Amino acid sequence: MLKNRNIGFYPITITIIALALIWIVGHGEAGEAGLNAQQLFVVDTIDLNNQDVDYHPEAAGAKHPKTISHYTRLLADMAYRIHNSYMEPIDAEELAKDAISGMLENLDPFSVILERKSYEDLMEKTHGKYEGLGIVIAKRGDYITVISPFEGTPAYNLGIQAGDKITRINGEDAKDMTVEEASDIMRGPAGTSIDITIQRPGMEEPLDYEIMRAVIELRSVNYAGVMENNIGYVRLSKFAETATEELRDAIDSLMHVADLNGLVLDLRSNGGGLLSQAVDIANLFLPSGNLVVSTRGYAPTSQREYLARNEPIYEGKPLIVLVDGGTASASEIVSGAIQDWDRGIIIGNTTFGKGLVQQIFTTQDPDIALKLTTAKYYIPSGRCIQRPERSKKHPDIAEDTDVSLEIDDGDETSENTELFLTKGGRPVYGGGGVVPDIEIERDQWQPIEINLERQTMFFDYAVDYTSKNPNVGRDFEVTDDIFQEFKQFCKDKEFTYKSKLQSKLEAFEETVKEQQKEDLFQNEIENLKQLVEAEKEKDFENSRDWIERSIKREVIRKLYGEKGVYEEMVLKTDPYVRKALEILNQKKEYSKILRPEDKSDS
């Protein structure tokens, strides 16, 4: 782990030589007293545990090829001369950091320097735990506001609620505190206590709490339950150290509750995690000996295969995996392996397309580590799902090309896309994420919807509404009166946003000013502004269905937590989940999708 000392960079020549040693030796053993070398196989931090040295294939026809040692000596020489001879003082630390950043500039976007805070955040996500109170907080106005407490944590057990404003922390006024400042104070060793004062909507007097810190576990499985016709559903949000254990327990629990006729594994917006967990989770559905993923890089030691090692716990029964554009890396390994072995059906949208693996290298500076892409990964059919545009920090994109890095349509494949086959002979393609077997049309958010969420109108309204109506049941529905009340609430909160038409009008106004034609177009512009405001009034009605669902979601979450949202909304109304249920309830259709197309039927 990082030690609590601030040493800074060594003199520049030693730093550069240390960098050379990292390149040559591969693990930076001299630096392990600072950042602890981790045996990590993660979404964007994979330690391949290589006992590797630099791999130098002989250059054909070169009598005396210059090695990395030559160039690191050259780099050290340049750095020394710049530091000592430039006309103005040059900070050694900044000089070294700039040099390192320059080396990483032309690499992929996932190869980066990790400083102490970034490293600690990564370890927290990887290990899935921290020491603190167990609340999610955000800035709302002048004060830090509780977004939600984690169930079973000290804050939850003492009754801290979503919407509580934290006004004092250990007697210090919390007004104008940043989220990071408040978080740093509230976190601390388990077993120690902290005093906080909150102002709860609907209550005149502030509430004082003394809360004992504890180890807070960030769960990978957010929810598991049984839907109609004994179809199981499990939401997996990340691949932390306990992900396989949590998912195994969840599936075991569902199978004890009901004789499952099918299972839905929800990997939407799951950015990944540990590679070892991805392999073990795929193994819950794939038989022992099946290839899950392989890695290939420049060094021979980076070429490895990862096989399922145990018998699956959920075998033979129908399986559907939900994915979207936020499904990345470790999630793509699992969904890709299930698709390639024809073990289940993939439903949703084309995935992110991150087929790279990283390794953490420690350095002689205890506050600095290097996260470097060392290999690409390949799922069982042999395809790499890495998107070319995600392989560089600065992809070359023509200005006149309408390119979306979010999600491709998935129904079309370019002429350069390589064709692969699943175990059963179904065509699949590499180079652009995992394309689902069944595509779900994505919601296209309108400007009003984006800004209502961004400005937390739904959350704030739910806090206000439930403070006045604390006994709302799970069957809560948004009536016309509630919808109109929400509109008035937004006006009172001075909610504002730019519509598409308004943005175009402002661009036109700017052009008019540049051409000095204000007098000529003044009346027309004022009329258009009135039309824009009238159209914005209609936006509420045009987005009414979406707004009502969002109000219901936040009211249910405020009163019944995430479990209530899953049971009253996700399982009942989510289009991805409902499509999965439809397919699982049609055994012939399920089997047909997993069969290769019969050309004689076309």
Span 179-188, pLDDT tens digits: 889 988 999 9
Length reported for the chain: 602
- Do 402 and 151 form a contact (C-beta atoms < 8 A)? no
pLDDT at 262: 97
Rounded to an integer, the average pLDDT of 590-602 is: 74
d(C-alpha 214, C-alpha 537), whole Å? 48
What is the pLDDT, as a whole number, of residue 159? 85
pLDDT reported for residue 166: 95
According to DSSP, the β-strands at 214-217 and 304-307 are unpaired
Greater model confidence, 502 or 330: 330
> Is 145:200 a contact under the CB 8 Å cutoff?
no
Q: How confident is the model at residue 34 (pLDDT cuts 50, 70, 90)?
A: very low
Amino acid type, 407: I
Classify residue 87 by burial, with Cβ atoms within 10 Å: 0-12, 13-18, 19+. Answer: exposed
Kindly state the average pLDDT of the residues 391-402: 43
pLDDT tier at 393 (50, 70, 90 boundaries)?
low
Task: Tell me the average pLDDT across 9-27.
Answer: 42
- What is the per-residue DSSP string for 448-486? HHHHHHHTTHHHHHHHHHHHH-TT--TT----HHHHHHH
Which of 47-51, 282-286, 499-503 has the weakest average pLDDT? 47-51
Contact between 578 and 231 under an 8 Å Cβ cutoff? The reply is no
pLDDT > 90: what percent of the chain?
52
Q: Quick check: 404 pLDDT over 60? A: no
pLDDT in tens, 122-159: 777 777 788 999 888 888 888 899 987 887 789 888 88
pLDDT at 598 (0 to 100)? 59
Q: Which residues of 288-308 are buried (b: 16+ CB within 10 A; e: fewer)?
A: eebbbbbbebeeebbebebeb
Q: How far does the chain reach from its first CA to its final CA, in angstroms?
A: 60
Confirm if 206 and 225 have CB atoms less than 8 A apart. Answer: no
- Calculate mean pLDDT across residues 438-456: 90
Segment 323-345 shows an average pLDDT of 96
Q: What is the enclosing helix (H) or strand (E) of 234?
A: strand 231-236
Q: Which of 75-84, 252-261, 360-369, 415-424 has the lowest mean pLDDT?
A: 415-424
* 556 touches 536 (CB < 8 A): no
Q: Alpha-carbon distance 233 to 229, whole Å?
A: 12
Query: Taken in order 584, 587, 592, 594, is the CA torsion positive or negative?
Result: positive
pLDDT for 493 = 92
Residue 363: pLDDT over 90: no
Confidence at 63, pLDDT banded by 50, 70, 90? low
- In the predicted model, is pLDDT for residue 45 greater than 80? no
Asked if residues 12 and 96 have their Cβ atoms less than 8 Å apart, the reply is yes
Q: What are phi and psi of 77, to 5 degrees?
A: -65, -45
Phi, psi of 72, deg, nearest 5: -70, -35
So what's the pLDDT on residue 299? Answer: 82
Question: Residue 328 corresponds to which amino acid?
Answer: A
In sequence order, what are the residues at sequence separation of 6 or more whose Cβ sits closer than 8 angstroms to the Cβ of residue 396? none
CA distance 128 to 246: 12
**Which one-letter DSSP state was computed for residue 389?**
G
Q: Is 90 within 8 Å of 102 (Cβ atoms)?
A: no
Q: Is a pLDDT exceeding 80 seen at residue 300?
A: yes
Whole-number pLDDT of residue 413: 46
Structure tokens at 447: 């400007």
Among the listed ranges 34-38, 357-361, 424-428, 440-444, which one has the minimum average pLDDT value? 34-38
Position 412 pLDDT exceeds 50: no
Structure confidence at residue 29 (pLDDT): 31
Give the distance between the most distant pair of CA atoms in the chain.
84
pLDDT reading at 475 higher than 90: yes
Q: Domains along the chain?
A: 1-52+79-128+219-392+415-442 (3.90.226.10), 129-217 (2.30.42.10), 447-582 (no CATH)
Task: State the average pLDDT over residues 420-445.
Answer: 92
> Residue 319, SS3?
strand
pLDDT classification of 599: cutoffs 50, 70, 90: very low
**Mean pLDDT, residues 266-271 taken together:** 92
Q: How confident is the model at residue 1 (pLDDT cuts 50, 70, 90)?
A: very low
Q: Which segment of 148-152, 305-309, 571-575, 588-592 scores lowest on mean pLDDT?
A: 148-152
Active-site annotation, residues: 329, 340, 354
pTM to 2 decimals?
0.78
Residue 563's nearest CA partner among 140, 272, 152 is 152
Top-confidence residue, 121 or 515:
515
Give the lowest-confidence range in 47-61, 302-316, 356-370, 373-387.
Answer: 47-61
**Residue partners of 461: CB distance under 8 A and separation at least 6:** 486, 489, 490, 551, 554
Mean pLDDT across the chain: 83
* Phi-psi group of 494: left, alpha or beta (phi > 0 → left; psi -120 to 50 → alpha; rest → beta): left
The predicted pLDDT at position 62 comes to 52
How far apart are alpha carbons 274 and 276 in whole angstroms?
Answer: 5
pLDDT band at 88 (very low <50, low <70, confident <90, very high): very high
How many CB atoms are located within 10 Å of the residue 513 CB?
Answer: 11
What mean pLDDT do residues 478-504 have?
A: 91
pLDDT tens digits, residue range 552-564? 999 999 999 999 9
Q: Cα-flanking dihedrals φ and ψ of residue 8, to 5°?
A: 80, -170
Residue among 372, 355, 354 at smallest CA distance from 363 = 372
* pLDDT for 484: 96
Q: What is the pLDDT of residue 390?
A: 59
pLDDT at residue 310 above 60? yes
Whether pLDDT at 338 is above 90: yes
Report helix, strand and coil shares of the chain as percent, to nearest 5. Answer: 40, 20, 40
Task: Answer whether residue 405 shows pLDDT above 50.
Answer: no
* Residues 274, 306: Cα–Cα separation, whole Å: 13
